[in-house]
Chains A and B, each alone.
Chain A
Amino acid sequence: MVEEESIRVVRCGGSELNFRRAVFSADSKYIFCVSGDFVKVYSTATEECVHILHGHRNLVTGIQLNPNNHLQLYSCSLDGTIKLWDYIDGILIKTFIVRCKLHALFTVAQAEDSVFVTVNKEKPDIFQLVSVKLPKSSSQEVEAKELSIVLDYINQSPKCIAFGNEGVYVAAVRDFYLSVYFFKKKTTSRRNFYDEKKYTYTCLHWHHDIVMDLAFSVTGSSLLSGGRESVLVEWRDATEKNKEFLPRLGATIEHISVSPAGDLFCTSHSDNKITIIHRNLEASAVIQGLVKDRSIFTGLMIDPRTKALVLNGKPGHLQFYSLQSDKQLYNLDIMQQEYINDYGLIQIELKKAAFGCFGNWLATVEQRQEKETELELQMKLWMYSKKTQGFILNTKIHMPHEDCITALCFCNAEKSEQPTLVTASKDGYFKVWILTDDSDIYKKAVGWTCDFVGSYHKYQATNCCFSEDGSLLAVSFEEIVTLWDSETWELKCTFCQRAGNIRHLCFGRLTCSKYLLGATENGILSCWNLLSCALEWSAKLNVRVMEPDPNSENIAAVSQSSVGSDLFVFKPSEPRPLYIQKGISREEVQWGVFVPRDVPESFTSEAYQWLNRSQFYFLTKSQSLLTFSTKSPEEKLTPTSKQLLAEESLPTTPFYFILGKHRQQQDEKLNEISENELVQLPLTENIPAISELLHTPAHVLPSAVFLCSMFVNSLLLSKETKSAEEIPKDVDMEEEKESENSDEENDFTEKIQETNNTDLGEDIIHQLSKSEEKELRKFRKIDYSWIAVL
C-alpha cells in the first residue's frame, strides 16, 4: 500500500447502540439505531447489520423516520447537521447545516417541512426545543437558518419531550415542571407538580426500582414499562391486574420503542444490546455490541484460537468480541448464577482471566467482597473442548488465596510439558498450580492442584510474569521484584528500585529476553539485565499500561500525564524509543493489547514498523476502544458496506450470505458459459454456410474466391439481425473453418440443415444468387431459434 499517511488514533467499533431509542422502519423490517458517528440499519428478522450510514462527523444524537416519506430517515448529530438518508440503499440524500450542537430530533407529520431539535445555546445546562425549517432545495448541502424557539428550559433527554395527538401540542418536563405548547394557539402552559394539588391519576405499581422508559403500544391499549429489574412489563388496559412480564432481559432497560406496524417492540439495554420482542412478548432477536456497561477488570485479552478480543461482558460473563466485524461472537458464562439487577447490590465480579497453553486453558477469578473481612473468592479453570468447540469447567477452587488475587499468569512456553499457572495475591503469597493426572481405574480425568506456595517477607504479591521460555518466574512483592527458577521454585535473585510499588512487570521477548521491565507507581520505568543482575536503564515515565508485542521485541507503554496519555513504543535493548505519539487520548488509558495481524502490513517508514505484525488496541476510561491506523474508519468499513449495497437489501440472513453469493456466482458462471457458447457455436457449425462448406463434397465446391465474397456478404447481412458481439466472431470464421466439433446436438442440427440443403447444393455450384442468400438467411433464423433454446 502507499504509505506515508500518518498514523492516527481511530475508534474501532464498540460504540453505544443504546444511546438513543431505536427506531423501526414503517414495515418493521428494519431497525435503526445510533452508533457513535454512524447510524446502523439492522434487519429485525436476522439481526444482521444491513447498512452503516456514515457521514456525520460527531456523535449522532437522534434519528427519526421522515413522516412524509417512510423510506427516508432523518438523523441529527452534535456536529450541527441534520441529514436525510435513503436507508434502503444507504445513500445520503441531503445535509441541512444548522451550526449548533443538536441533542435530540423529533419529527411530526403535521409540520411538513420542519423538524424539531433540542439545542443548548448559552449555558451548558439550558436546553431549548426549536423547530428547524428545512429549506427546499436541490443541492446536497443546504443551510437551515430558520430556527424558532418552541419551548425553553427543557430536559436534555429526548424522553422528556412528547408530541401530542396529531401534533397539536408538545409537552416537555423538567424537574417538577410540565410545559405544554399548543401550536395552533402558540401558547405555553406550565404546571408545577411540586405543589400539593390533587390531580387525577392512576397509579400502576409493580416496579420496585427505577423505571427507565415507557411506551404505549400502537393501538394505545397497553403500556410497556421497563427499568433496572430488566423485566419488560406490559400493562394491559392500564390496570394493575392485567399485566404480562418478559423477565431476565439481562440488563437495565434504557429505552423501549414500538414499531409503527405494532407487531414488534424493542428494548435497548445498558449492556449495549437491543432486544427485539414480538407482540406476544417473546424475544425474537438480540443485537449485541461490545458490552460496556461495567468496569473492565479482566483487561483486554486475545483468544489465541479465534483471535477475538476477550474482556468482561455481561455480569458474570466473559465476552468474545470480533474486532474485524465489530460484533460479539459469544458470551462465556463464568459465574453460572442468576443475576439480580438491583441498585446497591454487591455483585460477584469477574476480576481476572487469562488464557494459557495456546487457548487450551482459561483461568478465571471471581470475587465478592461485602465487608473487609468477608471475601468470597473462587478460581475456575476451563478446558477447551474440541468436541463442543467451547470451554468446559474443569476445576473450581474455592478460596485459592486468603485475600484478593492481584495477578494471574500461565506459563506459555512452547516446550513446557505441564501446564502451569501462577496466582499472586495480596495475602503475601504466590501459588503455583499445575495440571495433574487425576484418573483412576474408573475414569480418566485431569485437575489442577497447588504445587508450590512462595512468599517474600510477607509483602503483598502484586504482579507475576513468566519469561518467554518459561524458565523464570518474576513475582513482584510491593517494591521488590523476585525471580524464581520454575524448575525447582528456588529464589534466584531480587531487584529493588525503591520507587514505589511495582505496577507492571514483563519480560522482554526474542532477542531481548535477557531484560526484565518493571513500572512503578511513582513513575519510574526500570529495565534490569538478567545476565548481569543489574539495572540496565531506568526512565521517568508514569506508565499506566505496558504491553509486550507477542510477535516482536517491541513493548508499548502508555503513560499518563495531566494533559493526556502518551504512547511510547520501545525495544528494551535500544536506548531510544521506536515511536512516540503524544496525546493519544485525553482520558486515562486503562488497558491495551497487541493483536497479531492476519496479514502483515508493510510499513517502510521506521516509525511505523512496530505496526507491521500486530495492531495495538487500547481502552480508555470511558470505555471507548481505540486503535492506530493509517486508514480512515470509512475506508475500513467500505468493503462490507459496498458489498451490502450491491445485494438485494431485503432479508439478508446469514444463509442468504452463503447461498445468495453462491447462487450469484453460479449465475455469473452460467452467464459466462452461455456467453462462451454464444461465441463458439455460431463460429463453428451453426452457420449454415460453414456447414455447407464442410459437408459438400470438395469436387462440387466452387472456388474459394467465390465463396469468400459470399461469406462477406452474409456477414453484412447478419449485422441487422445479430447482436453486436457476434460480428467479430464471425470475422475470424474463416480460420476456424476446418475446426470440427463433435457435439452431438450440433451434429443433429447439422443433419437437419443438410437435409434442407441437399437440393441447394447444385444451386451453389451454378449460381450463388440472392435467392441463396435468402435461403441462408432463413437457415440462420432457424439457427438462432435453436440457440435461443440453449
Chain B
Amino acid sequence: MAGYKPVAIQTYPILGEKITQDTLYWNNYKTPVQIKEFGAVSKVDFSPQPPYNYAVTASSRIHIYGRYSQEPIKTFSRFKDTAYCATFRQDGRLLVAGSEDGGVQLFDISGRAPLRQFEGHTKAVHTVDFTADKYHVVSGADDYTVKLWDIPNSKEILTFKEHSDYVRCGCASKLNPDLFITGSYDHTVKMFDARTNKSVLSVEHGQPVESVLLFPSGGLLVSAGGRYVKVWDMLKGGQLLVSLKNHHKTVTCLCLSSSGQRLLSGSLDRKVKVYSTTSYKVVHSFDYAASILSLALAHEDETIVVGMTNGILSVKHRKSEAKKESLPRRRRPAYRTFIKGKNYMKQRDDILINRPTKKHLELYDRDLKHFRISKALDRVLEPTCAIKTPEITVSIIKELNRRGVLANALAGRDEKEISRVLNFLIRNLSQPRFAPVLINAAEIIIDIYLPVIGQSPVVDKKFLLLQGLVEKEIDYQRELLETLGMMDMLFATMRGKEGTPVLENTSDGFPENKKIES
C-alpha cells in the first residue's frame, strides 16, 4: 500500500530577484568598508602577488592599502598635479603612474621617491602599464600619442601617433611582451606591436573608449565606452562578438573575475554589472552610492574595491567560509559494521531483499500521520516555524481544515496557547496569499472562544488588535475598490467604444463579520 503522503506545502514565488548561484556568490560579501579619499578615485589596482595590497589613485596621491587595513600602509604623494593610473608590475614590486603634467613615474614599493621618471608626453598621461616582459612601460596621453619606455635606462623606445584624440585607456598583453592595446576618445581601440612600430589592428567602438580589457588568453578584447560594453574577437581580426548595453550611463571601468567566468563593468549610473562570459547575460548587479570610476577584484574575488566620483572608496570583503562548529559526533558503529556483507556475492537461489528505505517525515507530518492534530498545530505555531516559514503553518492549518478537524485542533487551549495562535493571525491575516485560510481559522477561533471572552486580559487585547486589523483591512480594500472603479472609468473613456478592458480584480472581498464583543 502507498505510504503516508506528506502535506503539500504551498510554495510561493519569491518576489524580486531570482536566487541563483551567482546572486549567492556575489551577495556573499560583508557590508562595505567606506574609505574617504581626497578626490575622485580614478584607479584601483591590486598587486598580483601576496599579500595582495592595492593601490588607489585619487587626486594627487597614490595610497597603498593592505588587505584588511583601513588606513593606507604607504602613500606616494610627490605629484605636482593629479596622478593617474597607478599600476603594479606583475611581481608586485614596482608601481608606475602617470600624471596630469605629462610625466610617468616609476616607484619601488618599498621606496618613497620615484625610481625613474619618463619625460616625453606633453599632456596628461591617463594610462600606463607594464609589458609582459616587465622591463617596459606603455603610456598613453592626451597628446594623442602612445609611448613605449625602457625601464633600465629610462628611455623612450617607440612613439605611436595613430590616435586622433585623447588616449585614455590601455593595457598590455599578459602573454606577448610586444603587444599592447590602447583605447582613445577617437572611438577606436588599437593594438600595437612593438616590433612593427605601427598599429596591427584597429576596431571601431563607436563611442569614446573609457576602458579596455584583454582576456588572459589574449583572444578576446573588451572595450567600454558610452553606454556600451563591446567584446571583440581578436583571433578573427577584431570581429565584434557581442555588444552589451546594460548601463544607463557611460561605462567607466571593466574587470574580470579571478576565474575568468564573469566580467564586471562599473558605470556612472552607480551600478556594477556582472556578466557571464559564456552567454554575456547580466547575472548580477550591485548598487553603489555614487558614480563609479574604478573597480578592482582581488585574488580569488576575496575583495571588491570600487572607487567613486565623490572620493569614497568602497571595499567589500568576502565572508569567510562559515565553518560550522560540528556538534560532537555521536559514536557511530565501527567501520566494519558498514562493510559487513558488502562483498557477499549473490548465489543462484538467493533472493535479494533490500532494506526498506525509510521516508523522512517532518515532525508535523509525523503528528498528522498519527492524527495528533493539536500537537501538529502546536508544532507549526512555535515561533521558529511561525515567523520564519509562515507558509508551512498556513499549509498545516489548511490541511487540518481539509480533514475537517481544524475546530478540534483549535479548541481547548489555555491563555498562552491561544495567544500564540492569535499572534500568528495578527501577523499574517492581512497577507493576501494567506488570508482565505486564516480568516476561516479566525472565525473558528471566535466561535470557540466567544463564551469565555473577558476572562483573560491578554487574550482580550489580542482580539481587539485583531479587530482593528480587520477593520483597517476592510477600509483598505474599500479604497482599493474605489480606485479600481475610477481607473475603470478612465479606461472606458480612453478606449471609447472598444470592448471592455481586461483588468484583474484584486479585491477578494473580506467578509465583514468580525464583530468581537469584549
Are these two chains actual partners, yes or no? yes
* Residues of chain A within 8 A of B279, CB atoms compared: 441
Given A370-B401, A453-B504: 4 more A-B contacts, CB < 8 Å: A248-B2, A441-B283, A442-B21, A491-B499
Could you tell me the distance between the alpha carbons of A373 and B3 in the complex, rounded to whole angstroms?
Answer: 34
B1 touches A250 (CB 8 A): yes
Contact A338 B1 (CB under 8 A): no
Pick the interface stretch among A62-70, A342-350, A710-718. A342-350
* B15 in contact (CB, < 8 A): no
Residues of B within 8 A of A457 (CB): 500
Whether, in the assembled complex, A606 has its beta carbon less than 8 Å from a beta carbon of chain B, the answer is no
A338 touches B278 (CB 8 A): no
Range, interface on chain A: 20 to 34
Q: Can you report 26 A-B residue pairs in the complex whose CB atoms are below 8 A from each other?
A: A247-B1, A248-B1, A250-B2, A275-B1, A336-B5, A337-B402, A338-B5, A338-B6, A338-B7, A338-B369, A340-B404, A342-B403, A346-B402, A346-B404, A347-B402, A373-B509, A374-B440, A402-B505, A429-B502, A440-B281, A441-B276, A441-B281, A441-B283, A442-B20, A442-B21, A457-B500
Who on chain A is nearest to B503 by CB? A453
Contact B502 A337 (CB under 8 A): no
Query: Across the interface, which residues of B come within 8 angstroms of A243, CB to CB?
Result: none
B20 proximity list for chain A (CB < 8 A)? 440, 442
8 Å CB contacts to A: which residues of B1-44?
1-8, 10, 18, 20-21
Contacts of B451 in A (CB 8 A): none
Identify the 4 closest CB pairs spanning chains A and B, nearest first: A338-B5, A453-B502, A441-B279, A345-B404
B111 at the interface (CB under 8 A from A): no
Let me know if A342 and B404 touch, CB within 8 A. Answer: yes
* Given contacts A402-B505, A441-B281, A248 and B500 within 8 Å (CB-CB): no
B468 an interface residue at 8 Å Cβ cutoff? no
Known A-B contacts A342-B403, A442-B20; the reply to A337 vs B8 at CB < 8 A is yes
Q: Is A283 an interface residue (CB 8 A)?
A: yes
Give me the interface of B with A, judged by CB distance under 8 Å: 1-8, 10, 18, 20-21, 276, 278-279, 281, 283, 368-369, 401-404, 436, 440, 499-500, 502, 504-505, 509, 511
Q: How far is the CB of A266 from chain B (nearest CB, A)?
A: 14
Q: How many A-B residue pairs have CB under 8 A?
A: 63
A336's partner among B1, B8, B404, B436 (CB-CB below 8 A) is B8
Task: Return the chain B residue nearest A490 by Cβ.
Answer: B499
**Knowing A398-B10, A454-B502 touch, does A246 contact B436 (C-beta < 8 A)?**
no
* Bound CA–CA A345/B401 (angstroms): 10
Shortest C-beta distance, A309 to chain B (Å), equals: 23
A344 contact set on B, CB distance < 8 A: 404
Residues on the B chain within 8 Å of A442, using CB = 20-21
Give Cα distance in the complex from A250 to B3, angstroms. Answer: 11
Task: Confirm or deny: A753 has a beta carbon within 8 angstroms of a beta carbon on chain B.
Answer: no
Contact of A246 among B1, B401, B511 (CB under 8 A): B1
The docked-state distance in angstroms from the alpha carbon of A612 to that of B9 is: 50
| Contact indicator A248/B403 (Cβ below 8 Å) | no
Residues on A lying within 8 angstroms of B by beta carbon are 246-250, 275, 283, 336-338, 340, 342, 344-348, 368, 370, 373-374, 398, 402, 429, 440-442, 453-455, 457-458, 491
Shortest CB distance B286–A (Å)? 19
Give the dominant DSSP class at A's interface: loop
Specify which chain B residues have a CB less than 8 angstroms from the CB of A458 in the assembled complex.
500
Best-buried of B2, B6, B276 by chain A (most CB within 10 Å): B2
| Chain B residues, CB < 8 A from A345 | 402-404
Q: Bound state CA distance, A368 and B8, in angstroms?
A: 15
State in angstroms the CA–CA spacing of A247 and B511 once bound together.
40
Q: Is the CB of B276 within 8 A of A455?
A: no
Q: Write the nearest CB–CB distance from A727 to chain B, whole angstroms.
A: 48
Instruction: Determine whether the beta carbon of A248 is less than 8 Å from that of B509.
Output: no
For residue A455, which residues in chain B have a CB less than 8 angstroms away from its CB? Answer: 500, 502
Pick from A248, A283, A368, A440: contact of B4, CB below 8 A: A248
Inside 8 A of B21's CB, which chain A residues have their CB? 442
Kindly list chain A residues whose C-beta atoms are within 8 Å of the C-beta of B2.
248, 250
Please report the C-alpha to C-alpha distance between residue A289 and residue B194 in the assembled complex, in whole angstroms.
86
Instruction: Report the Cα distance A2→B279, complex, angstroms.
Output: 68
Measured CB to CB, the closest approach of chain A to B218, in angstroms, equals 25
Tell me the complex Cα distance, A283–B2, Å.
Answer: 10
- Say yes or no: A337-B278 contact (C-beta < 8 A), given A250-B1, A342-B404: no
B358 CB to closest chain A CB, in angstroms? 16
Complex Cα gap A340–B401 (Å): 12
What CA separation (Å) do A513 and B140 show in the bound complex? 75
Cα-based distance from A348 to B283 in the complex (angstroms): 41
Chain B residues in 8 Å Cβ range of A336: 5, 8
Give the shortest distance, in Å, between A480 (CB) and chain B (any CB).
Answer: 13
Residues of A with C-beta under 8 A to B509: 373
B9 to chain A, nearest CB (A): 11
Chain B residue at minimum C-beta to C-beta distance from A339 = B5
Q: What CA separation (Å) do A219 and B3 show in the bound complex?
A: 31
Residues of B within 8 A of A374 (CB): 436, 440
Closest beta carbon of chain A to B351's beta carbon, Å: 15
> In whole angstroms, how far apart are the Cα atoms of A365 and B343 in the complex?
50
User: Does the CB pair B402–A348 fall under 8 Å?
Assistant: yes
Report the bound CA distance from A373 to B500 in whole Å: 26
In the bound complex, CA of A336 to CA of B276 (Å): 39
Q: Which residue of B lies closest to A454 (CB)?
A: B502
Please give the distance in Å from A175's CB to the nearest CB on chain B. 31
For residue A454, which residues in chain B have a CB less than 8 angstroms away from its CB?
502
Residues in A neighbouring B500, C-beta threshold 8 A: 455, 457-458
Report if A248-B8 is in contact (Cβ < 8 Å); known contacts: A441-B276, A441-B279, A457-B500: no
